[in-house]
Each structure stands twice: as structure tokens, then as C-alpha cells.
Amino acid sequence: MSEQGIQLIVGLGNPGAQYAGTRHNAGYWLVDRIAERAGVELRPDAKFHGLLGRLVQPDGWDLRLLKPTTFMNHSGRALAAVCRYFEIEPEHVLVAYDELDLPVGGVKLKLGGGHAGHNGLRDSIAALGSRDFWRVRIGIGHPGSKEQVVGYVLSRPSRADADAIIDAIDDTEACLPDLLRGDYQRVMNRLHARPSDPD
């Protein structure tokens, strides 16, 4: 495929040390891992309301990495600002976020859809004016009742759960060349076949 696939990867999360290891920051974890592996520095940029990095591939493809620092409920402000400035269309955007409806360590790639109650995703859709962007849903499991959700996502996972989430993030990071090429089916085949905790 000659046209580049993903041009911007956005990790959703909350800024600040108190949120750094929480389940709700799984999207941040992915962007951090990609930046770390690629040797890319994420730098604060006020006009983009977040931390931004750039990875230029030998084949000329250009990837931006973004961690909004506006808190989860206003993630779309940073996403829309970067897309406008660099003229990136929604279909070349990948948003990574924590997913209650997937088992711990599960990971799914999909294009479009609703927000399923995820505030960061809701704001991203509203700010972009489009649902037609790619998503990486990183499974964190469900606490069992609706009343427990807020406390659950804003708390740190157990060591075993954290290891499972990190494994999913590592496998997703390994798919970066296919994401840049736009070979989404190949990524889905790989990620969706991963074993994950059925509980």
C-alpha cells in the first residue's frame, strides 16, 4: 500500500503522578511505550494541549504521538488541535484507551463506532466531528457493578493485571509497522487472536 495508514496515535489518560499507574491511563501507557522504543521525546506544547512527539520513518512516513494533558473529559481539544494543524484526517488517527468491556489483557482494533460511555472517547468524537477514526481498545476488565466503575478505573491494577495490560501494549506496539502501512486486517488478525484472561 503506497498511502500511509496511521499518522497520529493518541493515548487517552489523565495527567499527574497520582494517575500515572491507573487503569484509566492505559492509552498513555501505549504512547509511552511506542515513544520509548522509538527513542522519541514527548514534549509539552501549549498550542496542542498535550505532550507531542514525532517519529519519522526511513520510508518517509511521518507519525505523531500525542498525550493530551487536559484530563480525560477534554481529550478532544488536544486531538482536534493536532489534526487541524497537521491536516490529519480522522481515518489516519488511532486513539488508544482503556476498555471495561474487554477482559484484562485483551486488545481490539476497530474503526468507528460510538463511545460506550467512555468520556475521553465521547469528547474526542465531539471535537473531531467524526466517529470514523481507528481505536485500540485495551482491556482492563470490569469491577462487576456500575457503582464501582469510577473507583476501579482510577485505581492501580494488581501486579498480575498490570503485567497482562503491559503484554497487550507490547503486542500492540509491535504492530506499529503494519499500522503505518495501513494493513489493519493484519493487525486485527494478530491482536484479536491473543489469549487473555477470561475472567
71 marked among binding-site residues: yes
Report the distance separating Cα 53 and Cα 132, nearest Å.
Answer: 23
User: In the annotation, is 24 catalytic?
Assistant: yes
Check: CB of residue 45 under 8 Å from CB of residue 52: yes
- Residue 168's contacts (CB-CB under 8 Å, 6 or more residues apart) are 105, 106, 107, 138, 139, 194, 196
184 marked among binding-site residues: no
86 marked among binding-site residues: no
C-alpha grid cell for residue 46?
501549549
Tell me how crowded residue 126 is: count the other CB atoms within 10 A of its CB: 12
119 marked among binding-site residues: yes
C-alpha grid cell for residue 16?
499527574
Grid cell 526511513 in the structure block, residue = 58
Residue positions forming the annotated binding site for tRNA: 19, 71, 73, 119
Catalytic residue list: 24
The annotation places the binding site at: 19, 71, 73, 119
